[in-house]
């Protein structure tokens, strides 16, 4: 099961996009750290329901979402389970597309919407990668990056 880690997820719109992606591909586990808004906040649910008739009628399907107070505890817990942590940063040297993502022991780690992963948090991650982009842009929002990465992982894993 693909694991996604979000540090201090505060934007309802980003949460809604993440939920939409996770529901669309299935078989994902979400870890949320820090002072984050909850996935069942009315603003998040309202946005997701506005996009999906079935969710509007039946609510969210059962999802595997874990709230962990400390980023450090979350990463250490994943590593104790032999999960490889891969962080995202526009400043990383290695391209995300150069990775073999076919295994099932991966956790993709995303930083805050406004500042990404700090140096201290990046140092806790096994590997840092970037999503290639034009030099005209140095940052993309979670609502763009998460679906791109999740779909590529699921493609490499043979889900699509």
How do residues 56-67 score in pLDDT, each as one tens digit?
A: 999 899 999 999
What is the model's pTM?
0.94
Q: What is the largest CA-CA distance in the chain?
A: 45
Which pLDDT score is estimated for 15?
95
pLDDT band at 137 (very low <50, low <70, confident <90, very high): confident
Residue 41 confidence class, pLDDT cut points 50, 70, 90:
very high
Give the sign of the dihedral formed by CA 1, CA 148, CA 94, CA 6: negative
Is 88:146 a contact under the CB 8 Å cutoff?
no
With 90 as the cut, is the pLDDT of residue 94 above it?
yes
23/20 Cα distance (integer angstroms): 5
The DSSP code sequence of 92-141 is -SEEGGGS---SS-EEEEE-BTTTB--HHHHTTSSEEEE----TT-----
2 in Cβ contact with 155 (< 8 Å): no
CATH dotted code for 2-156: 3.40.1280.10
């Amino acid at each position: 099961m693909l694991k996604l880690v979000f540090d201090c997820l505060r934007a309802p719109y980003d949460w809604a996009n993440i939920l939409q992606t996770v529901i669309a591909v299935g078989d994902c586990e979400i870890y949320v750290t820090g002072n984050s808004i909850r996935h069942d906040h009315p603003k998040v649910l309202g946005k997701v329901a506005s996009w999906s008739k079935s969710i509007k009628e039946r609510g969210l399907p059962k999802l595997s979402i874990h709230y962990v107070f400390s980023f450090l505890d979350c990463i250490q817990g994943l590593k104790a389970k032999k999960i490889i942590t891969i962080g995202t940063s526009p400043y990383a040297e290695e391209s995300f597309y150069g990775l073999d993502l076919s295994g099932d022991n991966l956790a993709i780690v995303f930083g805050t919407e406004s500042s990404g992963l700090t140096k201290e948090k990046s140092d806790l991650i096994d590997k840092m990668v970037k999503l290639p982009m034009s030099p005209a842009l140095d940052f993309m929002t979670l609502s763009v990056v998460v679906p791109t990465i999740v779909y590529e992982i699921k493609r490499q894993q043979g889900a699509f």
